[in-house]
Structures are given as C-alpha cells and as structure tokens.
Structure 1
C-alpha cells in the first residue's frame, strides 16, 4: 500500500534429492508466531470490532500506528496479539512503544511506511516521494533505530527497516540494515538502520495475474521478477539500481513482510484469495521470512479495495475461514525446545508441491503439504519412514476435522492441487 532470522527456513525436498535439514521439525508455536495482519485502529476504526475477528483468525500479530494506544493495549488483553508499531516520528514512536512494551503488547518498531507514496518531514526537511531527496528518510530511520537501541526498555525489541526503500532517488544506503565498509553511500559506513529488512512483496504481484507457484515465487529472496521483493529493495534497488546485498547475503538476511495480500474483486474470487493467502503464510515462513502481515483484516478500511479477510459486516470471507482452519489445526501455545525428526520423503512431487514439517509440544508432527498448481492435480505419496499408530489428514479448505484417519500407516497418498493439506502423525 521479527525473533531470529530464518527461523522457518527449510529446503524443499524432491523425492530423489534428500536434504537432512528438512527432516527436523520447527515448533508449531514458532510458525503461528510469524502470522500477522494489518489493522487500522490508528485511523479511527473501532478496536472493539476487531476482537472477535482476531480471535477467530488465530494470528498472533497486528500492524498499526500509535494513535489510540489504549485500543491497541485492549486488543492485546482480549486477543493476545502483539503490535508492530509503525510510524514516522522518533520521540513519539519511542514513547508509544514504551507504553505498549510495559503492557506486554509490543512486537516490534517499524520505520516510515512507503515514503515514495507518503513523504515524511523530519527536522524541517521533506524526504521521499517519487523525485525528492531521501536523506531525511534515512536520517529519521537512523535516529529511530538509535533511540530504540539506546532505550533500556526497548533495546531488545526488533526494528524493521523503511518499506519501499528500493525507491530511494539518491544512494542514502537504505538498501542495507547497517551500511558496510566502502558501500559508496551518502550516509557513512557503519550507519545502522534496522534489525530486519522490510518489504511489501504483495503475492498478487505488481502486474497482477495468477499462475503456478505464485506465493512461492513472491517469497523468493533473490528473484527479480514481477513481485516487489527482497532483491529489488535490498539487492539492486528497483528505481535507480543502487547496489545492495549479494544473492548469498539476501538468502541469509533477516527479513519481514509487513504488507502482502490478494484482492477478491468478486465473490467468485474469494476461494482464490483464501487458498493463496494460506499458501503465502506457509511459503514465506518456509523461505525464511520471520513475520508476514496480510493486508488487511477488514474490508473497506485503509483504502484496501477487496483485500479484507472479513466482509464489512465482519462475517468471514473464505480467506478468514481457511486461515482459521490452519491455525486451529496447528494450535499450540508452547514452544518446542528441541523439535524432533521425521524421516519422511515425498515421491512424484512436481515443483509446485511444497512441504513444511512442524511439531506440537505434545510430540505430534504436523507435516503441511501444499500445492501451488492453478489447474489439475498432483498425486503424491508421502513415505513416513516408519509405521505410525495414527495418522490424520486435514484439508485447510474443509474445516478443522480430519478428512481421513489412517491406522498403522507408513505412507499417505495425497491429491495436491492449489491448497494446503496437513498430515498429523502420532
């Protein structure tokens, strides 16, 4: 329009290309902790209206700004969500962040939102816009980062970089988290801006369209294509092509997505919106994004078109239902200190089939297998590596009850197309 980097990154297995890293699970609590959504309490919308939708959705984080802090604190108390606090000030932002932190409601602090579209004024200087100087933007972000890290109450909280830094008109260095030596930027080497890179890689893409591997490609940290991704903001800036990180560095770069979404322009498009947004949460986590925020919770807010997960009367769209199903099936509030290993493999998988191994604190494995195949099906076999007493299969588009239950099973046959299935192994 956050945690440690790469916590969810695993490498996709092709049946003939074993990779030991993917056999070690990630805690369900860690995955669920990566899920977020944009809200608009700051813009005057009622925080009370968000309580039931957030409880139903099951995401853990919201992105909003500092006006009506009491409303944000109330939402944390009622739903457990924490706030990525967005803003374009320094003193006001740190004061607001301190208030949220004392209430246990703070997730992170984020710099200016899309200065190319929403210019900022800092210390009497305007920054951003399509042609203006970005020096003021960089100085604001630098000062915000310093203020947070030098604040004894806030120093441990992550700071997210400016969004759409790839639009900088002069090489002020916003394509870096910390400007490296001999970078040739206008701000000095060693200038620190943020702990996490921040992009708005809308899964719909900057030119629209719906094709195979839509979410998977949008989440690719090195792909230079029609998604406004990590490469175009931190590898080679999309407006003036200022040099940033190498592809190898981008793969390891701590990163978040604070806006992504899909516009369901008609009722018939609700299913597409639903399956692709579930795929987006999964693909982002699998490919190393620490937090992902969907734009947006409610229809008709913040100029979001038909991107809301709920209708204007707060009835859930299919996207809200599918996300609710996913978070309900995987529900777990306890971190897994030492996730286990499952010696599984997948046979007959196309490159549109992806998998993510999770584990609950009670020991159950949750193997999420999702397809990004727009038409047709892929029939695959998941070999479990051993015989298990009970295996349940869930469909994220069907509900929160198993669609099949197997006993004494050592493999599972799945028909995969455009959405997520969950294989629960006990």
Structure 2
C-alpha cells in the first residue's frame, strides 16, 4: 500500500496552522436586508438563521434611509461587505461618507467595499453613461474616495465590480481595472453540475478584470433547489455547497459568499430558490450542513482540557485510494486539530434528473496521533477512529469518503 498519494504538513505545534475561526470568516452569505415584503423583514429570524449556520460575514447593498437592520446586526458582531448601489452611483462621495460614519460608529463591522453589481444585467447610469466605460469610471472614483489619506476606510479592500453572465469579449470591452481595485471579483453558478464544472475557468475569466492583482473574491455562488433542470434537490445542494466552500478554503479565496440566506420570494424562478432557508424560514439541509460544518471545524473554546496538551502532529500522509482527495488542516478554538478531507463527486445527473450514488473511496491517514475522532459534516455525528501502528511507528487511520466532506478531529 502506497502512502505517497497525498501528503500534508501541520507544522509542529500549530504556530503556522490557520485557525478555523479565521478561515471561516472568509466565508459569508448574501443578504437583502432592505427587501420589503420578503423574509428579510423579520430581523430576528435573520439573526437567528445567521447564528445557526455559523457565518458572521454578510454581503449586502450599502444602506439607504432605513439603517436599522444593518446597525442591529453590526452591534451583534456581524460584518459586512457593502456593494455600491446603482441607484446611488452618482452620489459616491455621499455614499462613502456614510460608510465612513458607519465604520466610526461600528468599528470592524465593514470588511470590504465592492463596486457595482452585475452591470451587464443591471446597467448603472454614471453621469449619464450606462456603458461599461461609465461603470469603470465609477469604480475608479470609488477607489479614489475610499483611499483618501483621511478616510477611515482606506485600510479596507475595494473589490472590483462584477459583470454577470459575461463572455471573454465582455471582459475585453470592460478592460483592466487593476488600478481601481485591490481584489478581483467573480460570480459563479453551476446549474445542476458540481463545483468543478465551472469553478476554474470562471475564476480565470473573471481575473481578466483585475489582471495585475492576484486575489480574487467570489461574491456570489450557490445552487438553486427549484424543481427544474436549473436546480438540484435540497440534499444535493447541501453536499455541493460543502464541496464548494471546502475548495474555497483550500485555495485561500479571500472572500466567498453563498447566495443567499433565504429564498426571498416564493415564485417559480430558479434565482429565488438559492437560499439556505426556505421562504418560510424552515432550514433546508444546507442550513443544517453549514451548522455542523462550522461547529466541527471551530470546536469549543470552553471545552475542558485535562493536563498539558501534547504537541500537534507535524505532518500527515494520505494513502490508499486517495486520487482526487483534498485535505486542509485547521486549528480549532480548543487548541486541537481539525483535518478536513473531501473528494468532490457528481451527485446529480442533470439529463435524467436522477441522483448518482458515488462509489466509496477508502483512504488511509498516517499521522502521529494515538487517538482521533471523525465528524460527519452533513449530520454532525462524531465517532471514534480506530488506529493501527504502521511499520514506521506512526498511526494509520482508515476512512471511507463517499458524498460529503469529513472532518478528522485530533485532540
């Protein structure tokens, strides 16, 4: 049996392992707090739903007159990436001044400021110009205003605008906005296919907008649960989303926002059924999955520890049937180690509209740890992993990967 298929390093006692809490703060969810006549009007439900899924970073439009929902959530510790509204694009000095005031009143509540949203679908009139050139000029004015020396926003990243449904030609017409953005920006949807179907090429295409800037955020992505060829069943949505965010964490995507928190309209259109919660605020399997995923990765900072914690394992090796298996080591709040393991697979056939049952993959994990547990990201169940000694003295764990990420917990 080869142990050379996949190897990873946990770097000693955790000094260089990213914390799960920091990693999860790079994940967020899109909200529409000022949408009237939608579930977002129930702010207590919004707050409770966000707390349950374990994500505290939101993407929303800049506040208008009714700032109460934004203020309430900021005071509760939630953070915002604010998107410039097309309705206010001719008032950017005023918009930025209001964001500066929001940041003064609620320190650390803004994590990024984003240019116009999907200008191909929703053209904005900037000084009478609805073209891509007008949107580019608005992006550059926004960047200059945020980066004024006296602005308390100048330490925040400015994200590029998004096109929406864009071709390579659209990006060529828009041009390179690297001088007017700190971070590139992509919206990626997959229809009924797994994340690997579009993730790579869509990100590469979006990088054309900020060709001279390396980071690229994904500020909209997700799966619809509408019962047509444009969606997937709710249980598949949950699994595909966990594959998706695992990939984003592994690739150090600076911000990834799931679209969206709740189905905001009960209408037969795929775009209204992307939520983690249904229109009546009942949780879809995806909401439960995020709850379990974030809890398992974070651990419990209040969990009692007996005696001095042993040094974390310096490295691990995946073997067995490990082709295509990905891994990521994160430090939990209680000081223990979480090792996220997954293998992205097709779970739904869009042509036949029938589920696909993947073949289990048995992998081995060789690691210097006498005891370990394994957490199921879909159910939240945690069970013991039994180890056997390898020929070189390390412990070998056997794990079956099927249709979801698993989290190995090493105390």
What is the TM-score when the length of structure 1 is the normalising length?
A: 0.77
Equivalent in the alignment of 1:159: 158
Aligned to 1:196: 183
Q: How does 1:4-403 map to 2 (within 5 A)?
A: 15-16=3-4, 25-44=17-36, 45-46=40-41, 47-65=43-61, 66-67=63-64, 68-78=66-76, 80-87=77-84, 88=86, 89=89, 90-102=92-104, 103-104=106-107, 105-127=109-131, 134-150=132-148, 151-164=150-163, 166=166, 169=170, 171=172, 174-177=175-178, 192-202=179-189, 204=190, 208-210=191-193, 214-216=194-196, 218-220=198-200, 224=201, 229-235=202-208, 245=211, 253-266=214-227, 269-301=233-265, 304-331=271-298, 342-374=314-346, 375-384=358-367, 386-388=368-370, 390-399=371-380, 401-403=381-383
SS of the equivalent of 2:298 reads coil
Q: 1:330 to 1:387 in 2, by over 3 A?
A: closer
**Partner SS for 1:120:** coil
Equivalent position SS for 1:122: coil
Report the alpha carbon displacement of residue 70 of structure 1 after superposing the two structures with TM. Answer: 2.4
Secondary structure of residue in 1 paired with 2:382: coil
Q: Which moved more, 1:91-100 or 1:320-329?
A: 91-100
- Please identify, of 18-27 and 414-423, the stretch whose mean Cα deviation from structure 2 is larger: 18-27
Other-structure match for 2:308: none
- The answer as to whether partners of 2:222 and 2:258 remain within 8 angstroms in 1 is yes
Which residue in the other structure is 1:10 paired with? Answer: none
8 Å Cα contact 1:176-1:234 kept in structure 2: no
What's the offset of the Cα at 1:293? 0.3
Distance in 2 separating the partners of 1:325 and 1:21: 25
User: Any idea what SS the aligned residue of 1:145 has?
Assistant: helix
Q: CA 1:333/1:92 → structure 2, altered by over 3 Å: closer, same or farther?
A: farther
Structure with bigger gyration radius: 2
Contact 1:40 1:301 in 2 (8 A): no
Is the Cα contact below 8 Å between 1:299 and 1:308 reproduced in 2?
Answer: yes
**CA–CA separation in structure 1 for the residues paired with 2:329 and 2:197:** 20
Contact kept in structure 2, 1:25 and 1:341, CA below 8 Å: no
Residue 196 of structure 1 and its aligned partner are, at CA, apart by: 0.6
Shift of 1:218: 3.9
Partner of 1:11: none
CA contact (8 A) 1:348 1:381 kept: yes
Give, in whole Å, the separation in 1 of the partners of 2:219 and 2:171.
Answer: 24
Kept in 1, the 8 Å contact 2:121–2:163? The answer is no
Q: CA deviation at 1:86?
A: 0.6
1:136 aligns to what SS in structure 2? helix
Provide the residue aligned with 1:180 in structure 2.
none
**TM-score with structure 2 setting the length:** 0.79
RMSD (Å), alpha carbons: 2.8
Q: State the match for 1:5 in structure 2.
A: none
Taking the aligned partners of 1:407 and 1:17, their CA distance within structure 2 comes to 19
Partner of 2:304: none
Q: Give the distance between the partners of 1:415 and 1:408, measured in 2 at CA.
A: 16
Q: How many residue pairs align between the two structures?
A: 359
Cα drift, residue 217 of structure 1: 5.2
Cα distance 1:22–1:259, how it changes in 2: closer, same or farther (>3 A)? farther
Q: Deviations over 1:242-272 (max 9, x none)?
A: xx74xxx7xx811111100101124981110
CA contact (8 A) 2:10 2:315 kept: no
| Offset at residue 406 of structure 1 (A) | 4.5
Please list every run of 5 or more consecutive structure 1 residues that lacks an aligned counterpart in the other structure.
Answer: 1-13, 128-133, 178-191, 238-243
Contact 1:138 1:172 in 2 (8 A): no
Q: Distance in 2 between matches of 1:94 and 1:332?
A: 38
Structure 1 position 346, deviation (Å): 0.6
